Structure 1
Amino acid sequence: RGLRQLGAAALALRLAYGAWVHVAHACFAAARAPRAPTLRGGVLPGAAAARGLRQAVVRFYYEDLVKPRRVEKARGWQESPQSQRGIHTRPMTHIANPDVTTLRPGAPRLAQRVHGLSDVAAQYDGFILDTYGVLHDGESVFEGVGDALAQLGAAGKPCVVLENFAGRARVLESQLSEMGLDLAHVAGVVSSGELAHTYLRTRGHKLGSRVLWITASGPDRGGAADFFDGLEGFTLVSQVEEADFILASGVEVMFAGTPREVRMPVVEDDFEAGRFKRKFTRVFRQAIRRNVPMVVANDELQVFRGGNSSAHVLPGRLRQHYELLGGRTLKFGKPSNAAYEEARAVLDEAFARGAGRLDEPGQSEPEPRICCVGDSEDTDLRGARNAGFDSAFVVDTGDAAQHFAGQELTSEGVIELCKEENHRPTVALHRFAW
């Protein structure tokens, strides 16, 4: 009994010491943190300390109590004989693909290397397609794309385009057609800008009517020139103090649509270290003090254009900076589940029209088997995984082209590139071709 009491006292002392360390660290961090603004524009000296203390308690509870128990439980499950009976690597997917290499829990998940879509088309009922880096390079359509879409259409596999594009879907369709892409074999086009437009049209009154617009330069505003068509009651403002919310559909023009337009051509290096970031920071802090939210019509972070090594900043980078300063954001596009659900709805309509799979009479309707084709690890692969879809990783024409330049495409190489387990694709192919 005495030993048990001594052990209990030692445990209590250990837990108290751990809690004290976390609280001391939080108080030190809070002392160095900026004071939090109140609703009246003043400061609340204890807010930062209270927030740090709360985070310390949560961190102590999770890291010292919950996490060790989860690790021990996971180890025991993996080592038990029952864990060897079934292989479950993707609980959200509806694809049973015997050709894809699957491993037991805890082991790396390999991607199947295929030569073209003809190797996997029979395993799926429909496809969700990225455009930039998969179907085209921003100027022209890649070789073999038209034939692949025609082959998928002939096989009864409807395809939906899902792109992080700040403009309306009809503008994206027009741009794809001008590049030479035949949309006859595409069931529909979904853009992040269209999702943002729909939200503002149906629920935008919750945010207000006065908009501070940040967009792209040029007469077409990066495809968003007609964004406010069909949006009644919204007014563009030229002062932060007048704005009810910020709409970010680009990064090159601030206070767009007003006489006070500020042009800011930005690339990655300039944004991280130049005067452009300071201009955004000054305006963003004024907006955050007034609790002004930001609506992001394209949550992509950056893009490389025309073979240039400099990365051009996209609205997703502004969203990250706004959140870092403490602002509230509402983002649209990949990798959020809402974007994939919209693409799924378009595919469901195609299935209902008979363009997809045919079910046997008297049988319950099975869940459609959908594969997402993309070239980006952070948006396409992660978004597909989170939405419960399989994914096909296009290597030679997308973001991974430099990584695999002069190298053979292997499953191990894909694993090395896709560091996180949730980003690993189901299949990997050189390009979008049949």
Structure 2
Amino acid sequence: MEAVDLARLIDLYDVFFIDQFGVLRDDERAYGGAAAGLRTLKDAGKTVVIFSNSGRSGDYNARRLESLGFSRGSFDHFVTSGDVAYSLLSSGELPVEISGETRIFTVSSGADVNLADRLQATNVADPASADIVIIAGSEAERIPLSRYRDLLAPAASRGIPCICTNPDIHKLAEGGLVPAAGAIANVYEELGGNVVRVGKPYLPMYRYAQMLCGMPGKNGIVCIGDSLDHDIRGANDFGADGVLVRTGILATLTEQELTRKIRMKNAMPRFLMTAFR
């Protein structure tokens, strides 16, 4: 693996798929130089897509980035797993039928039920009475996984299908890592439930972004992220080059530990980058 900086990436690629959390920001603030890095890409005429495994919309996430000092003009699109899930569900591409009578129970942060609302479905507070469970977010910084297990056990036992719109296993919170929505989805499967995951590293997320960009060739696309399981594996499966940034969830690993993890995960970045700036 070769070290790389932003100037070299600008020479090599035309389209940039850039992870939000762990590359541009943590749970509270922007990383130093990240906003300037995006502006540098746009000044060079590049197409910039911000990627996020977030159950909320791209518009919502874009506003949050702006509040942290990022310019809305420094990226072309903001693609979230929530947006992709809405597209797949509303077009009938997922094996789940949705109508106004469909009862949806949502696991999220901040009581967010935006996907159910966008689908014009019926929100319910009891997972046992739901037709579909959506796992969009986690509040594991204050709610242990054991409580999520108890909450979801009745739905899983009834065979209620689940859609996870944020497959991340860990998230940055309060200066550390806590279980994310993907970890709750794993619990649902352990309980015997069936889960469909939407987001990185799964191909529909990448194809959706590629379509928004006018279907550029994959050899001109680079995917930048901090997660081997999601960003780099997603890039590998999609067929584009991946850049692993040493901020975010892997920031504390030594070079030897990172090398072992890459071999164990079988997710191979083309380049390593100290930080996005």
Q: What TM-score does the superposition give when structure 2 sets the normalisation length?
A: 0.88
8 A contact 1:160–1:346 mirrored in 2 = no
Alignment map for 1:29-428 (pairs within 5 Å): 111-114=1-4, 116-203=5-92, 206=97, 209-217=102-110, 221=111, 224-232=112-120, 234-252=121-139, 265-266=142-143, 270-271=144-145, 275-280=146-151, 283-284=152-153, 286-308=154-176, 311-348=177-214, 368-395=219-246, 397-404=247-254, 414-420=258-264, 422-428=266-272
Amino acid at match of 1:398: G
Question: SS of 1:348's equivalent?
Answer: coil
8 A contact 2:218–2:240 mirrored in 1 = no
8 A contact 2:106–2:113 mirrored in 1 = no
Supply the distance in 2 between the matched residues of 1:374 and 1:392 (Cα, whole angstroms). Answer: 6
Q: Deviations over 1:339-396 (max 9, x none)?
A: 11112122227x6xxxxxxxxxxxxxx655111000111111111111111111111x
How large is the Cα RMSD of the aligned pairs? 2.5
Question: Cα–Cα, structure 1 residues 403 and 141, in superposed 2: closer, same or farther, change >3 Å?
Answer: same
8 A contact 1:243–1:292 mirrored in 2 = yes
Deviation at 1:252, TM superposition (A): 4.4
Amino acid at match of 1:288: A
Q: What TM-score does the superposition give when structure 1 sets the normalisation length?
A: 0.58
Structure 2, unpaired ranges of 5+: none
Question: SS of 2:250's equivalent?
Answer: coil
Supply the distance in 1 between the matched residues of 2:30 and 2:126 (Cα, whole angstroms). Answer: 42
Question: SS of 1:330's equivalent?
Answer: strand
Matched pairs, number: 273
8 A contact 2:134–2:164 mirrored in 1 = yes
Deviation at 1:225, TM superposition (A): 4.9
Judging by fraction of residues, say which structure has more strand: 2
Question: SS of 1:300's equivalent?
Answer: coil
Amino acid at match of 1:265: R
Structure 1 runs (4+) greater than 4 angstroms displaced:
none
Bigger RCO (CA 8 Å, 6+ sep): 2
Question: Cα–Cα, structure 1 residues 130 and 291, in superposed 2: closer, same or farther, change >3 Å?
Answer: same
Deviation at 1:241, TM superposition (A): 4.4
Amino acid at match of 2:160: V
Deviation at 1:160, TM superposition (A): 0.4
Q: Which has the larger radius of gyration?
A: 1
8 A contact 2:172–2:248 mirrored in 1 = no
8 A contact 2:20–2:52 mirrored in 1 = yes
